[in-house]
Amino acid sequence: MEIEEGKNIQVSDKIFANIEKYKHEEYQYLNLLQNIINNGSWEEGRNGKTKSIFGTSMRFSLKDNKIPILTTKKTAWKTCLKELLWFIRGETDNRLLKEQDVHIWDGNGSREYLDSIGLFDYEVDELGPIYGMQWRAFNKEYICNNKQKIIHENSFNPKDFDFDFDLDKTEDRNYGVDQLQIIIDSLKDPKKRFSRRHIMTAWNPCQLQQMALPPCHVLCQFSVKNGDELSCAMYQRSCDEACGTPFNIASYSFLTHLIAKHCGLKASEFVYFKGDCHIYEQHLDCLKDQLTREPYPFPTITIKQIRENINDYKVEDFEIHNYLHHPQIKFQMVV
């Protein structure tokens, strides 16, 4: 069968147009959703029925100030950023988020939930040594707010590990290990910034039982290439694809842009490694609707100033430009 020359050109143009369209990085997320729906296995877990697969990865460019805030539904990026800055400051008290109208952790900080996991001594909204504490004071002895007593003892000693920094106060468990500041100091040092040891972990087996929720995004690594291009890779053990993943992509992209700006580098890429990727049964229908939407171009970010201390950045320091998005989809977070 012969195709007329004019029609052949039109067919080729359509093919190349589709190729260009599907190069949009958001299709990594949409294709994952479709893969889980089509090929995932049904599992009955701790908090409900999910369809899931195990193991995948995504890559998002951060060059030219681009930031991958997903567009096929409205992503509450300010809420995401407020939580990130709360982590960075080492905070674990959910009341500080509530004061900013952020309610991500409300379910895990309720009296009913805390009692259900045996944290009877915790006050409401006390979350234990979660992300912020591990980032800024890894393995510091945790003292319960309510009784002012040490909940847990263990024998961790930083000298047992091959850290690429001066121990200073980290020998004393009254301080813990400030992983984030160690990374910042190393990235600012031209002799250390190319190290392969810029790793920050939230997974502390010694303190998991004290946490309101064991960390889902458990480890990240920063890497500098081409002199001044900063990338971040993150591994996440458990991925709630409806509620969690859009926030996780935005959060670690914000973090990479912020660390790059703070250390005089340029943000390059966020690489996302994912373990258990699951969709809760009650989220399926809304995600199927989301799959019918076509992504818009990702927005860009400006961080307006460099502050002396990483703790001092505020939401007002960040500007997002040209964020086009489809309407919000409301998912009930499962705790």
Active site residue 206: no
Residues 6 or more apart whose Cβ sits within 8 Å of residue 18:
none
Amino acid at 228: D
DSSP string, 259-314: HHHHTT-EEEEEEEEEEEEEEEGGGHHHHHHHTTSPPPPP-EEEE----SSGGG--
What is the SS3 assignment for 78? Answer: helix
Task: Tell me how far apart the alpha carbons of residues 271 and 178 are, in angstroms, rounded to a whole number.
Answer: 23
Q: Rounded to an integer, what is the distance from CA 68 to the centroid of its chain? A: 12
Place of tokens 């994952």: 32
Task: Tell me how far apart the alpha carbons of residues 145 and 123 are, in angstroms, rounded to a whole number.
Answer: 7
**Buried (b) or exposed (e) across 180-212, using 16+ Cβ within 10 A?**
bebbbebbeeeebbebeebbbbbebeebeebbb
Active-site annotation holder among 80, 206, 216, 263: 216
Are 70 and 60 in contact by the 8 Å Cβ rule? The answer is no
Q: Rounded to an integer, what is the distance from CA 235 to the centroid of its chain? A: 9
The catalytic residue positions are 216
